[in-house]
Structure 1
Amino acid sequence: MIITHRHIDEKFEYDGSQINPSWAFQEFGIYGSSVITWIGPVNIVPDNLKDFADVGLEIKSNYMVNFICEFFDQQPPNMRIAYLRQRLLVMIFREILTEYGVPSKREGDDIFVDGGKLSISIASISLSSAKIHFALNLEDKGTPDDVDTIGLYDIKIDGKQVFNEDNLLELINETVKRFIDELKTIENDISKTKVL
């Protein structure tokens, strides 16, 4: 499976509509499976909520790194595989945090650092594709009052800021690269394994 990654330099809001099928093609002319990343605020309007458990809740932040993944390799798309890939992306990011010396905790698809919620995520399917949205706070600003949150820029080790504008793009690209490589490795393993 070929997966295209494109980081968009333009800052724009994630409002939940980007989880719709073929968004990468409609907005950027990208065919096939893709991972689109960008930095911008998140403010999911009620009509675009996909998780029944989130109905009535505020999902917002002033400043986040957004990942939108879309896959066309399963026809019909499979919700279970979409969620397994979502968890894989989350765990790969946690692995990278560990390499930076940042301890974290995972609860389902949520990552916590120092008790603060760092990430949000959802997976779903359409008739033609599987979609994942994964986003990480950059700062603890503009998030819901009833949720303790933390941003990447808020994380410090021995008083020193771990992430900043100088290494953020490297963090994004490394996360996507490992995710795509892992999916390719799975495809390769499938192709060389003798069935029982």
Structure 2
Amino acid sequence: MEYKKIEEPLLYDGSQIQPFWAFKEFKVKGSSILAWHGPMEIEAEKIIDYEDIGLEIKSSEMVHFIIEHFDIQPADIRTCYHRQRLFVTIVKDVLGELGIGTNREGDDLYFEGNKLSVSIATCSNSSMKIHFGMNITNKGTPIDVDTIGLLECKKDLDNSQINELTNKISQNYINEIESIEEDITKTKVF
């Protein structure tokens, strides 16, 4: 898997969940994880989770991750959701190492009862896609949801630490996927 950190801010508007986005926009070919900081505002027609239709999904500043896998053909939504939960668990572990103790409910993370993240998993004919976004601050989030950002969870956190966190989460996910692949190649199957 290839990892690319996008340095310039980028609005997550839901279009990034489309297949081949990493290749079309950044020439990143194959299975990948791309990460960046930026706002989020998803237009109603780009919401793909039926439970979220009619809701505001927005934030002024988030850490975004877009993961795309091509290793299973045709793409499998069940495997995609398993990988999403694995990713969320990795985020929870890395945050815990920083002293930010979160609770996981499905694919969402909460800090002291406040929602810290959003996530979606989906498939196309060719790939599995995951978006995970974590609030840096709770500014610009919907007023009807109790939200929190990383900077509210840990007051002394700065941008360089958030960048390190982003890189570590991405690398830990890649390491986990590669470890699974290695285990598959050394296991006798009957």
Same fold (TM over 0.5): yes
TM-score by length of 1: 0.95
Question: Following superposition of structure 1 onto structure 2, how do residues 46-195 of structure 1 map, counting pairs within 5 Å?
Answer: 46-156=44-154, 161-195=155-189
Counterpart-to-counterpart distance in 2, 1:104 and 1:183: 23
- Aligned-pair distance for 1:154? 0.9
TM-score normalised over the length of structure 2: 0.98
Task: Say whether the 8 Å CA contact 1:155–1:162 is kept in structure 2.
Answer: no
Q: CA deviation at 1:47?
A: 1.0
Amino acid of the structure 1 residue aligned with 2:86: L
* Distance 1:162-1:92 versus aligned 2 partners, 3 A rule: farther
Structure 1: runs of 5+ lacking an equivalent:
none
**Is the counterpart of residue 10 in structure 1 residue 8 in structure 2?**
yes
For 1:191 and 1:81, the matched residues in 2 are separated by 18
Q: CA deviation at 1:166?
A: 2.3
Q: Which moved more, 1:94-103 or 1:166-175?
A: 94-103
Residues 56-92 of structure 1 show CA distances to partners (whole Å, capped at 9, x for unaligned) of 0010000000000001000000000100000000000
**TM-fit CA distance, 1:99:** 1.2
Taking a change above 3 Å as real, the CA distance of residues 162 and 93 of structure 1, as seen in their structure-2 partners, is: farther
CA distance in 2 between partners of 1:69 and 1:8 (Å): 13
Gaps of 5+ in 2: none
Q: For the Cα contact (< 8 Å) 1:122–1:132, is it kept in 2?
A: yes
Q: 2:24 aligns with which of 3, 23, 26?
A: 26
> Is the CA contact (8 Å cut-off) linking 1:13 and 1:43 kept in structure 2?
yes
